[in-house]
Amino acid sequence: MRVESQPLVSMTNVEKHYGDFHALKNVNLDIAEREVVVVIGPSGSGKSTLCRTINRLETITSGSITIDGKELPAEGAALAELRSDVGMVFQSFNLFAHKTILENVTLGPIKVRKLSKSEADKQAMALLERVGVAHQADKYPAQLSGGQQQRVAIARSLAMKPKVMLFDEPTSALDPEMINEVLDVMEGLAKEGMTMVVVTHEMGFARKAAHRVVFMAEGEIVEVAEPEEFFTHPQSSRAKDFLSKILTN
């Protein structure tokens, strides 16, 4: 059984290099169960990289990342199993282009969780219902709007019953009128107590749903604060500078 104080995700002294480029510099971050953490920062500051190291889509150069107390395993069956417990939602949706919406959601449960097709279908339809795209179940991803595709992507992650979900700019590729339909689903998840790491510049979401905002610049975590505190009284000059830029446009 988990000790109450143990973080669900723990990053300790994490370093990441791309060749000569230092993408993550001594990153330390603990995320508690049921916590929602918003990661914010200028382009190229390492937000995606941070997000992707948590399910080892990117390997780290040194340091340690644990999920539920367990060190991320090397590539192989153990890593696949761990990834099934970590949901990921991408900026570009990445729905499987040759599969229907329903098949997108049932693939993981059938292949990884070994559910029967009928069980997986039933569960998937309930999830699609919940994100509001059940009537599109037999269509292909390209036949849906961006907002609908992203909601399907969230359902696909939820179908694995993840312990934690990672969102890498889930609304950045969407037309403005579709952003809220996705944020609404995410706020719902946050309310239900899903542990979430969300890279986003949507301050409304951060204010409503996040427990903490992590501000990154040049590969470092510069500031960690409660949302209200961060947006009204940023401490570092880089955060002030960044906020003044995103607020003016």
Partner 1 sequence: MDFLELLQMFLSGTWGTIKLFTVALVGSLVLGTVLAAMRVSPTPVLRIAASTYINVVRNTPLTLVMFFCAFGLPFLDIRFGSTSSFNSFVYATIALIAYTACFVAETLKSGIATIPVGQAEAARAVGLSFGQTLNEVVLPQAFRTVIPPLGSVIIAMLKNTSIASAFNNRELISAMRNAIEVRGDLVIPLLFGTAVAYLILALLLGRVFDYLERKLVILR
Q: Which residues bind partner 1 (CB under 8 A)?
A: 55, 57, 75, 77, 80-88, 90, 92, 94-98, 107-108, 111-112, 140-143, 153, 156-157, 160
Smallest distance, Mg ion to C-beta of residue 239, A: 18
Q: How many helices (H) and strands (E) does the chain have?
A: 9, 10
For residues 18 and 96, which CB has a smaller minimum distance to ligand ATP in the complex? Answer: 18
Smallest distance, ligand ATP to C-beta of residue 85, A: 23
Tokens of residue 85, six digits: 């417990």
CA distance 245 to 239: 10
CA–centroid distance for 228 within its chain: 21
3-state secondary structure of 171: coil
Smallest distance, ligand ATP to C-beta of residue 242, A: 11
Contact of residue 185 among ligand ATP, partner 1, Mg ion, none (CB under 5-8 Å per partner type):
none
Contact of residue 3 among ligand ATP, partner 1, Mg ion, none (CB under 5-8 Å per partner type):
none
Name the site residues for ligand ATP (rule: CB under 6 A). 18, 21, 23, 41, 43-49
Q: In this structure, are strands 62-67 and 70-71 parallel, antiparallel, or unpaired?
A: antiparallel
Tell me how crowded residue 20 is: count the other CB atoms within 10 A of its CB: 5
CA distance 131 to 126: 9
**Mask for 26-55, x = binds Mg ion (CB under 5 A):** ----------------------x-------
